Amino acid sequence: MRKPLVVGNWKMNGDKALTESLCVGIASRSNRLRNIDIVLCPPFPFLYLADACLKKSTVSLGAQDLDANTNGPFTGQVSASMLNGHNCKYVIVGHSERRVNNAETDQLVSRKTQIALEHHLIPILCIGETTEQRKAGQTEQTVIHQLQNVIDHTGIGAFNDIVIAYEPIWAIGTNITATPDQAQEIHSLIREQLRQQDKKIANDCRIIYGGSMKPENARELIAQTDIDGGLVGGASLNSDDFFLICQAALSD
């Protein structure tokens, strides 16, 4: 039985006041959400404050990215051990906004996944196709290629400790959500790819969906056999909406 997981990715939004109100808004209700895992990923400067606000709750802290190196002359970058120092449990790797805006390659995403694992951070590995790739019938090969690249680097065993997020790029921040059938089709493909390499890992690995998930569509998406939760951007900036999405995951 896979425990549902809902992750809030605030992206480059918020300030101290919003960090406090979102964290308190979720943490204060987290005792009603004990049967799912909840993670909040604020921007780096607010990790310290978020950690303090989440202290007595069951909500975990995550980061939106990390550097592939352990330390050194990498101005502006943040290392895995720095995230450890802020009690982060999870870290997002390979988000499409980083792949596109920061030219992150599959190789770099694989290295980031590896360094996260070495520091006992749970990587939330994002994979997904662009509109053009979908239109060209390349969705499956794109997603499988991105996934296999990481498997080849870390070994399949590492997927005991990795969460996969399927995020079709055309659905991110667009208000166009993949239909439950569209999402399930790719989630099952991803699980099949894992299954060919390790049946138990395929069965246990959490694969969450991201892309315009909202209170109105979360329940139906998470009800799909191979969808184990959500990676939520926009709707995670409102604690009531995010709480409703968490509740939808709970009732799955």
Of 14-22, 68-76, 130-138, 227-235: span binding ligand PGA (CB under 6 A): 227-235
Cα–Cα dist 24/14, whole Å: 14
Should residue 172 be labelled a site residue for ligand PGA when binding is judged by CB under 6 A? Answer: yes
Instruction: Answer for the pair 106, 67: CB distance below 8 angstroms, yes or no.
Output: no
Among residues 97, 167, 192, 216, the one annotated as catalytic is 167
Choose among 163, 118, 120: nearest CA to 7. Answer: 163
* Residue 22 touches ligand PGA, criterion: CB under 6 A: no
Q: Which is nearer to ligand PGA, 36 or 202 (CB)?
A: 36
Q: Does the active-site annotation cover 95?
A: yes
Query: Rounded to 10 degrees, what is the CA torsion of 182, 164, 251, 232?
Result: -80
CB of 73 to ligand PGA, least distance (A): 30
Q: Is 25 exposed, middle or buried (0-12, 13-18, 19+ CB in 10 A)?
A: middle
Helices (H) and strands (E) in the chain, counts: 11, 8
Residue 9 binds ligand PGA (CB under 6 A)? yes
Task: State the angle between helix axes of 139-154 and 106-118 in degrees (0 to 180), rounded to the nearest 10.
Answer: 40
How large is the angle between the packed helices 16-27 and 47-54, nearest 10 degrees? Answer: 30
118 is catalytic: no
Q: Kindly report the backbone phi and psi dihedral angles of residue 248, in degrees, each rounded to the nearest multiple of 5, phi listed first.
A: -65, -35
Nearer residue to ligand PGA within complex by CB, 69 or 180? 180
Report, in Å, the least distance between residue 156 CB and ligand PGA: 25
Give residues 25-84 in contact with ligand PGA (rule: CB under 6 A). none
Within residues 186-225, the interface with ligand PGA by CB under 6 A covers 210-213
123 scored as a contact of ligand PGA (CB under 6 A): no
Nearer to ligand PGA, 67 or 211 (CB): 211
The binding site for ligand PGA (CB under 6 A) comprises 9, 167, 172-173, 210-213, 231-235
Residues annotated catalytic, as ranges:
95, 167
